[in-house]
Structure 1
Amino acid sequence: MVALLMFAAVCCAAPVGNAISAYVALKTGEQDNGGIAEGGSAADIPPRMLTAYKKAVQQAGKYVPKCEGMRWPILAGIAKVESNHAIGHSIADNGDIRPKIYGVLLNGSGAGGNTTVFPDTDGGKWDGTANGERAVGPFQFMPSTWESTGKDANGDKIADPHNAEDAALGAAIYLCGKGRDLTKRSQLKAAILQYNHSSEYVANVLGWIDQYTAAANDLDLKNVSGKARTVIDAALSQRGVPYSWGGGGTKGPSYGFCCSPSGKSGASIRGFDCAGLTQYAYAKAGITLPRVAASQAGVGQRIPASLGTGALKPGDLVFYATAPGRDPTIYHVGIYLGSGQMVNAARPGTVVRLDAVNAMSGYAGGSTSAMTTNPRSPRLLLLNTAILAVAGVALLGVSHGQDPPAPAAAPTVRATTDSSSVAALSPYSKPTPSTTATATPATPTPSAVESALPPHGEGTAGDLAIQRNLEAAWPADLPTADERALLTAGRALLRADATGVGRAKWPTVFGDSGQAVAPAFATARFRIQGAIARRDGSPNKAVVHLVWAGTDRGGTFTDLRITDWHFTRTITKKGASTWTPQPRT
């Protein structure tokens, strides 16, 4: 294997959202595929549906006066995941949708991933069958839920889940509950979890909400000046220039190299990859950046991911990684514009464009690259100094969040005595962030490109590169038997949460299985692209870090998703070691 920074040489496409969720062509109408979810702006929503969402927001207060923070991006996020905004169906002036939208029949047959029998409650009135129950309409209500929640929004005196306005109002009322404050992230997550009891579903919907929220913001650069404005103007001037694998640099767009893991080549395309674009834009401001995304993260003042995207300022670099906190796994970089948006060279087959910052999973912080003229907050400066001072120690025990209380009588994972290796783990040492303000630019070579992390849509051809990169950036620190047991459990938990398959094995993790009305993701295209099990701050805590791909309920396929499952170790009276999974919050 080549040197680790070469392994992450050319920036690739970004993962989806923590979701979740996906690349977005903000306000450009740009559509793409190959593992990147389409949409994310009002432009991808049928106008009649968008009107219904906005009207529902205005009407919801009549039924739930204590509800705060309801807004159309929330309803759009739900409808995107549930039915892709009813795209492909006709929507009449009064809001009626035809043909009607039906979910899979929930008869426990396993079709579509359903494993729970739901007896018929409406005699087929809404779901068209008396042989069982199935979700209906653009918001996929269960008939029994609709009977208690549905309202007439269009004035025809019929509360119909197959009507866009009625369904949107019903969804708004349902999400508001008895008076939630949806401006608070915790209450918004609780509302979405009520809609579908799957943490992966919640992450996916939140990703779309963030995208639509960013898309609704108007970009305002009137107060941006100096080098930051020069960088932004240079980047914006390249909108529409094609993505080229290995292309671009300080002098502008150039022909790239061959090839990505699945054979995508930039050799015949004059354009930019993500790091080529940032290198060009910063050069216009007289700032030298290295040629690869992971190296660019070591330039200038680092902005910790823990501060969130709100700490970013226009002109900052924005980084994404398959294992945030491990800079060698950084595979993508963009330039922040403000209002939750960035200039982005996304992946092969796209052009330089505007994307939502929160549209990508694996946010790994940012960097001022020593050019921001406005002072940062004292808290940011203090945290940054501390991080740089103890970088090596911090990376040896990178945190993955606070563990929730262990559930009572949770299923356990017993470590085996098999001494065979889980994988051929790489011997690379842990990375140490650079404190250097400038760096010597490195010209990309074909070998660097060939070893790069794969872009979206690579399929299984890129999975090995992802796995090797994770192992190299985060060396093994658990006994082989524990690692094997944890990986087996982590993979099974992810599959259960995302597809519904195997949930019965983990009742205290997922709660009442009856709450999982329908799988959040289909089993057909679900696959795990990479997985590692490592200590999580102490010998008795561990995390299984997974990168995966899947198709959601609305039919949108995305890859490079990121999920962590946390475990705690207990020792039995006989000295056996068991690992207990913790519920995700």
Structure 2
Amino acid sequence: MRNTERRAAAHRTAAVVIGALFLMGCGSNDDAQEDNEPPAAPQKMDAEPVEEHTEATDDVPIAELADATWVEETAAEHAIPQRALAAYAGAALRIAETRPECNLGWNTLAGIGSVETSHASIDDSGLNALGVAEPAIIGPLLDGSEGVMEVEDTDAGEYDDDEQWDRAVGPMQFLPETWETHAVDGNLDGEMDPQQIDDAVLTAGVYLCETAEDLTDDDEWVSAVTTYNQSLEYARDVAGIAESYAGDAADQ
């Protein structure tokens, strides 16, 4: 599931871009024809909230919403960095309050984070005490080379340090233009930073729930995830990882 070569390949092809601008996987046509079946929606896994945060939480940073003992134990069980899991769980808890009908599980967000950047640990990056990826995670140039789209610069290099071409950025790999139009402040610091795990994960969750009405429905889950990245192979990878988190929990 966490094979280093697979994660690197996913990153090299910029395997997560929210919105209509996306990168296609680089598999062969034979590989694509081998399995065109969409995955089933993974079982929705709920996070355990902090007891005092079971009511309105719009004034609480999402990393503080999940019970700390639950985060520690669940992170160890699944080999997910605690800081990343706090963001996945907190985003799911926030969305459960604001859009309960969406039925977003933390494990779907974690599946995306795993495929995208191995929970912000790809290329020797990591999350600092503020939840910011260091060094910054910046994907490959979207210059029309083999396997990637051509996306001319939209942010004057503000997010991706490139004034000619766009590059996907942060733990959840957003295009700069998409970040500008969808960004959410997950840690309530007054800024929206694609390299900050709470901002990035909550934005991803909100986007998924804007795309689908109920993520426990197979077709809607696939539709949402393939809007995030238009590739069934990508959806299958995310579903497999998300379901493994659910399966591990069910075995306890």
Q: 1:95 is aligned with what amino acid?
A: G
Tell whether 2:107 aligns with 1:73: yes
Q: Map residues 157-556 of structure 1 onto 2, 5 A cutoff.
A: 157-177=190-210, 180-219=213-252
1:54 — aligned with what?
A: 89
Larger radius of gyration: 1
Cα deviation for residue 182 of structure 1 reads 0.7
CA pair 41-206 structure 1, distance change in 2 beyond 3 A: farther
Cα deviation for residue 206 of structure 1 reads 1.0
CA pair 179-188 structure 1, distance change in 2 beyond 3 A: closer
Distance in 2 of aligned mates of 1:170 and 1:195:
12
Q: 1:52 is aligned with what amino acid?
A: A
Distance in 1 of aligned mates of 2:96 and 2:181:
17
1:101 — aligned with what?
A: 137
CA deviations over 1:37-80 (Å, ceiling 9, x no partner): xxx98432111101111111122256x52642111100011111
Cα deviation for residue 90 of structure 1 reads 2.5
CA contact (8 A) 1:41 1:216 kept: no
Q: 2:136 is aligned with what amino acid?
A: K
Q: TM-score, normalised by structure 2?
A: 0.66
Q: Map residues 125-140 of structure 1 onto 2, 5 A cutoff.
A: 125-140=158-173
Distance in 1 of aligned mates of 2:109 and 2:131:
16
Distance in 2 of aligned mates of 1:67 and 1:44:
29
Distance in 2 of aligned mates of 1:42 and 1:172:
23
CA deviations over 1:378-418 (Å, ceiling 9, x no partner): xxxxxxxxxxxxxxxxxxxxxxxxxxxxxxxxxxxxxxxxx
Cα deviation for residue 94 of structure 1 reads 1.9
CA deviations over 1:107-134 (Å, ceiling 9, x no partner): 1022xx21x2111111111112111111
1:153 — aligned with what?
A: 186
Partner SS for 1:81: helix
Distance in 2 of aligned mates of 1:178 and 1:132:
27
CA pair 42-49 structure 1, distance change in 2 beyond 3 A: farther
Q: 1:89 is aligned with what amino acid?
A: S
CA deviations over 1:238-273 (Å, ceiling 9, x no partner): xxxxxxxxxxxxxxxxxxxxxxxxxxxxxxxxxxxx
Q: 2:141 is aligned with what amino acid?
A: L
CA contact (8 A) 1:66 1:180 kept: no
Stretches of structure 1 that go unaligned for 5 or more consecutive residues are 1-17, 21-39, 220-585
CA contact (8 A) 2:131 2:196 kept: yes
Cα deviation for residue 91 of structure 1 reads 1.1
Distance in 2 of aligned mates of 1:42 and 1:60:
24
Q: 1:107 is aligned with what amino acid?
A: D
Distance in 2 of aligned mates of 1:216 and 1:143:
36
CA contact (8 A) 1:94 1:154 kept: no
Structure 1 vs Structure 2 CA RMSD: 2.3
CA contact (8 A) 1:66 1:179 kept: no
Cα deviation for residue 93 of structure 1 reads 2.3
Distance in 1 of aligned mates of 2:142 and 2:234:
18
Distance in 2 of aligned mates of 1:109 and 1:136:
18
Between the two proteins, the alignment pairs up a number of residues equal to 180
Cα deviation for residue 176 of structure 1 reads 0.9
Distance in 2 of aligned mates of 1:147 and 1:67:
26
Distance in 1 of aligned mates of 2:165 and 2:218:
35
CA contact (8 A) 2:127 2:133 kept: yes
Partner SS for 2:138: coil
Partner SS for 1:85: coil
Cα deviation for residue 162 of structure 1 reads 0.2
CA deviations over 1:2-54 (Å, ceiling 9, x no partner): xxxxxxxxxxxxxxxx798xxxxxxxxxxxxxxxxxxx984321111011111
CA pair 67-121 structure 1, distance change in 2 beyond 3 A: farther
Q: 1:102 is aligned with what amino acid?
A: I
Cα deviation for residue 97 of structure 1 reads 1.0
Distance in 1 of aligned mates of 2:235 and 2:188:
32
Q: 1:109 is aligned with what amino acid?
A: S
The one of the two structures with greater contact order (alpha-carbon pairs below 8 A, sep at least 6) is: 2
2:12 — aligned with what?
A: none
CA pair 79-153 structure 1, distance change in 2 beyond 3 A: same
CA pair 192-179 structure 1, distance change in 2 beyond 3 A: closer
CA pair 48-129 structure 1, distance change in 2 beyond 3 A: same
Distance in 1 of aligned mates of 2:83 and 2:225:
24
Which has a greater percent of strand?
1
CA contact (8 A) 1:182 1:188 kept: yes
Q: 1:174 is aligned with what amino acid?
A: Y
Tell whether 2:152 aligns with 1:119: yes
Cα deviation for residue 218 of structure 1 reads 4.7
CA deviations over 1:519-543 (Å, ceiling 9, x no partner): xxxxxxxxxxxxxxxxxxxxxxxxx
